[in-house]
């Protein structure tokens, strides 16, 4: 999205488990606990450091929602370490974001055999380094906690239109929020796919990783049939969702992103040139706890053709 005028209150971070309209659970995140006095001191200092770094970055993160995983390479053609950079910004041109514990709900790597938790260190940029990635196809996922943003009415409407969420407009008026600042929690749900030596992702390309909003290729984007059109499935809370705008951006290309809406949860995206591609989708629902009016989920998938 474009960088909107943002009215910020104090920083708030929330645990972001999959949500539905009418959600009433309190998702506030608590400070990690520890048993001994020494452990409490260490945990407290670590958490405070994490929050302070998060606050320093917050003015930027609130203004640019697009978020993706940028791997150092998309194919295992050597035993060199694989680095993972987290990026955010408009137009597939983003600044790198260090790994921050307080902003992260999960950061995981999957191969055909099992899940491997990523051992990221607080403040690392790139966010993670995998020293011995192996030669199997991989899927890597990142899910953030919920971050708070508040937008003025006109900016919120512009943002809804830009991100193909015009279905929220009638709900604004119905809830009496059309003339008020809109308070939103947003959650990042990012994924990237890495090819094996043979050029395939193996069995991980269409695996469902239980993020609240997820883009799942129906065909291996690195398979032998590299047609321009790639069918994808968009899932919300594990179920196909209709009417969500799916945007496709080619890195360093001087052209507007192509947007197609899902039908029966599916969309056909066109990957008509070599290079790095960002496929993204955004979905918003009502949020009833007092902290916010809406919660949005930002799914992304990065691949290289």
pLDDT in tens, 60-110: 444 447 999 999 999 877 778 899 999 999 889 889 999 999 999 999 999
The boundaries of the domain holding residue 297 are: 13-304
Instruction: For residue 199, name the pLDDT band (cuts at 50, 70, 90).
Output: confident
Instruction: For residue 47, name the pLDDT band (cuts at 50, 70, 90).
Output: low
Q: What is the pLDDT of residue 149?
A: 92
Q: Residue 223: count other Cβ atoms within 10 Å of its Cβ.
A: 14
Q: Is 181 inside any structural domain?
A: yes
Q: Is 69 inside any structural domain?
A: yes
DSSP states of 138-157: EEEEEEEPEEEEEE-HHHHH
Q: What is the pLDDT of residue 25?
A: 33
Task: List phi, psi (to 5°) of 283.
Answer: -140, 140
Q: Is 259 inside any structural domain?
A: yes
Q: Is 65 inside any structural domain?
A: yes
Q: What is the pTM of this model?
A: 0.83
What is the arithmetic mean of pLDDT over 219-231? 85
Q: Round to whole Å and give the CA distance between 70 and 68.
A: 6
Q: Is 254 inside any structural domain?
A: yes
Is the dihedral angle over the CA atoms 286, 289, 3, 188 positive or is it negative? Answer: negative
What is the arithmetic mean of pLDDT over 116-133? 88
Angle (nearest 5°) at CA 244 between 283 and 296? 5
Residue 115 Cα distances to 109, 112, 215, angstroms:
6, 9, 19
Q: Is 280 inside any structural domain?
A: yes
Count of the separate structural domains present in the chain: 1
- Which residues lie below 8 Å from residue 161, measured CB to CB, with a gap of 6+? none
242-289: per-residue pLDDT in tens? 999 999 999 998 888 899 999 999 999 999 999 999 999 999 999 987
Q: Is 3 inside any structural domain?
A: no
Beta strands in 111-194 (DSSP E): 115-117, 128-130, 138-144, 146-151, 182-194
């Amino acid at each position: 999205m474009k960088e909107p005028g943002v009215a910020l209150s104090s920083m708030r971070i929330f645990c972001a488990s999959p949500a539905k309209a009418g959600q009433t659970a309190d998702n506030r995140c608590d400070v990690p606990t520890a048993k001994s006095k020494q452990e409490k001191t260490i945990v407290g200092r670590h958490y405070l450091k994490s929050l302070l770094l998060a606050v320093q970055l917050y003015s930027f993160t609130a203004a640019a929602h697009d978020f993706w995983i940028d791997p150092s390479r998309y194919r295992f053609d050597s035993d060199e370490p694989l680095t993972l950079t987290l990026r955010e910004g408009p137009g597939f041109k983003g600044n790198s974001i260090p790994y921050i514990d307080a902003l992260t709900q999960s950061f995981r790597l999957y191969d055909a055999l099992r899940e491997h938790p990523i051992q990221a260190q607080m403040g690392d940029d790139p966010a993670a380094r995998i020293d011995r990635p192996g030669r199997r196809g991989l899927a890597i996922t990142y899910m953030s906690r919920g971050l708070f943003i508040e937008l003025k009415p006109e900016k919120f409407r512009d943002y809804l239109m830009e991100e193909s969420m015009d279905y929220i407009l009638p709900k604004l008026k119905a809830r009496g929020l059309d003339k008020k600042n809109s308070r939103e929690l947003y959650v990042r749900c990012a994924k990237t796919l890495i090819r094996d030596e043979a050029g395939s992702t193996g069995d991980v390309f269409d695996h469902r990783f239980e993020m609240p909003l997820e883009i799942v290729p129906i065909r291996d984007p690195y398979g032998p049939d590299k047609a321009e059109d790639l069918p994808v499935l968009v899932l919300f809370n594990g179920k196909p969702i209709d009417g969500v705008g799916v945007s496709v951006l080619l890195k360093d290309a001087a052209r507007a992103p192509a947007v197609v809406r899902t039908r029966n949860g599916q969309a056909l995206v066109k990957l008509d040139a070599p290079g790095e591609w960002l496929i993204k989708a955004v979905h918003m629902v009502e949020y009833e706890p007092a902290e916010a009016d809406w919660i949005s989920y930002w799914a992304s998938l990065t691949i290289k053709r």
